Structure 1
Amino acid sequence: MPMDVIDLRNFYGRALGRVARALIGRRIRAMWPDVKGLSVLGLGFATPYLGSFLGEAERVVGLMPAQQGVLRWPPEGRCLTGLVDEKELPLEDESIDRVLIVHGLEASEAMRAMLRQVWRVLAPGGRVLIVVPNRRGLWARREATPFGQGQPFSRGQITQALRESMFSPAGWEVALFVPPFDLRPLMRSARAWERVGTFLWPRFAGVILVEATKQIYAATPIPEARCMAAIRQRVRAMTPVPRGWQKDMEDDR
């Protein structure tokens, strides 16, 4: 069973969670170094990574799916989080410039519907950045962390999911090479693990980060009922006519 917001909050309150937030957060900011004047949406449990955008982006919002629950964020000031149905985001079309999905896709009960909602609310030229557990990584096998919950992904699987939802992958990063254990020596050497792992065994990272853009001119699939009606109409239009029809028409004249 996927972790709820209390489990996720507790994880990020531990030393291992703080290390994970620092390492993943560095990769996120490297991919999005400038969000000045943009609107940023965090979907899933992205609030540990949204703090760096406050005061820089024009608007920052965190939406959490109903099956996960919601927590107030930030602790002080106006609340910027809300509980939503992942299949019906309460946002206007093309109203968001950047969407960050963390602890969202792997735990989703309707992944494709959620991605289609992200496509709807993302502005032309906007970008979505998704953080998912790596199927080959050690973190996906450690159920004591949120990255060991839900469905892990390979690079090919996340690429297919994005393309089926009319997104084009535009950039890749990996993170979390330190083993997922609350051991002080590992926590102290986490950055060294990150540097070495990036060069020696990038396929075994704990998480995959993929940035994607929406395909503006992609064709929208035709509903099955409409598609079958169109096929029947074409079949009727192409019904073969018996030979000799021209002669019969001349005789009638």
Structure 2
Amino acid sequence: MTLDVVDLRSFYDSPLGRATQRFVGEVVRARFASCVGQSILGVGYAAPYLEMFRGDALRLLAFMPAEQGVINWPVPGPSASALIETGMMPLPDSCIDRVLVVHALETAEHPRDLLAEIWRILTPGGRMLAIAPRRAGLWAQLDTTPFGNGQPYSRSQLRDLMRDALFSPTQWGEALYFAPFEGKLVLRSAPLFEKIGAKLALPGAGVLFVEAEKQLYRPVGLRRAAPALQPLPQVLGTRPAGIAPG
């Protein structure tokens, strides 16, 4: 199921959405701590998390899938958002230092094509941080938040997806240990749940983080040897064309 940009914006404007932005944003900021003078691209609906890099990054862009829709971002100033086809991004090769993928992998029709295009535009040694709903988490089981839509992932599924697209996973993380409910008690106790869940690595997290580096060379696998050429069988009483009988 594809998420609509209006629904995504409404979610992040809600109390639950603001709590989500806070706790997911803390992990994003920690992973992309050194980004001064770098180009950062958000793919999917990353606008709420790109705000924290304004003033540090050299360039910020927000690419939103055509099936999702697009909003103007940032609200003040020239727009840095664009509606794109995820398999054909309007950027040259090796021009982006960091890519943040959120609300994109789980709804992409062809996630490998999306990752292949991200690989193309990343600089050598460039890094991608992908956020996806955790298959075993409560957030993926309820469709009351954006993380309950589309295809959730396990860690092994994300690892295989990254390696197929020539990315080397370097860091893993989780977040959203609190329940995805709007109740005041839930939201008030959310910071405690996040602190305990992260410290003890509890199994109830709602989203997975994987930071991966662009792999420059495709691993060389073993190839089966081509079968040796065999002489054509000679049929009794025939001779190769062009040779007269002796």
Q: Shared fold (TM-score greater than 0.5)?
A: yes
- CA distance, structure 2, for counterparts of residue 72 and residue 194 of structure 1: 32
Q: Is the 8 A contact 2:2 2:67 kept in 1?
A: no
The Cα shift of 1:74 comes to 0.9
Question: Once the two structures are superposed, what CA deviation does each residue of 1:152-194 show, in whole Å capped at 9, x if it has no partner?
Answer: 0000000000001111100011100110000011111111010
* 1:145-184 mapped onto 2 (5 Å cutoff): 145-184=145-184
Q: Is the 8 A contact 2:24 2:175 kept in 1?
A: yes
The Cα shift of 1:200 comes to 3.8
- One-letter amino acid of the counterpart of residue 213, structure 1: E
* 1:14-93 mapped onto 2 (5 Å cutoff): 14-93=14-93
Q: Is the 8 A contact 1:174 1:202 kept in 2?
A: no
Q: Does 1:239 align with 2:229?
A: yes
- CA distance, structure 1, for counterparts of residue 201 and residue 118 of structure 2: 32
- One-letter amino acid of the counterpart of residue 113, structure 1: D
The runs of 4+ residues in structure 1 deviating greater than 4 Å are none
| Structure 1, gaps ≥5 residues long | 222-226, 244-253
Q: Is the 8 A contact 1:43 1:63 kept in 2?
A: yes
- CA distance, structure 1, for counterparts of residue 58 and residue 200 of structure 2: 39
The count of corresponding residues between Structure 1 and Structure 2 is 231
- CA distance, structure 2, for counterparts of residue 19 and residue 185 of structure 1: 13
- CA distance, structure 2, for counterparts of residue 184 and residue 108 of structure 1: 33
Match of 2:186 in 1: 186
- CA distance, structure 2, for counterparts of residue 200 and residue 98 of structure 1: 29
Secondary structure of the residue aligned to 2:143 is coil
The Cα shift of 1:220 comes to 9.1
TM-score by length of 1: 0.87
- One-letter amino acid of the counterpart of residue 181, structure 2: F
Secondary structure of the residue aligned to 2:42 is strand
Question: Once the two structures are superposed, what CA deviation does each residue of 1:49-81 show, in whole Å capped at 9, x if it has no partner?
Answer: 000111100000000000000000111111010
The Cα shift of 1:31 comes to 1.0
Match of 1:109 in 2: 109
The Cα shift of 1:102 comes to 0.3
The Cα shift of 1:219 comes to 5.0
Sequence identity percentage: 43
TM-score by length of 2: 0.90
Q: RMSD of the alignment, in Å?
A: 1.9
- CA distance, structure 2, for counterparts of residue 219 and residue 124 of structure 1: 16
- CA distance, structure 1, for counterparts of residue 11 and residue 2 of structure 2: 13
The Cα shift of 1:240 comes to 2.5
Q: Is the 8 A contact 1:134 1:206 kept in 2?
A: yes
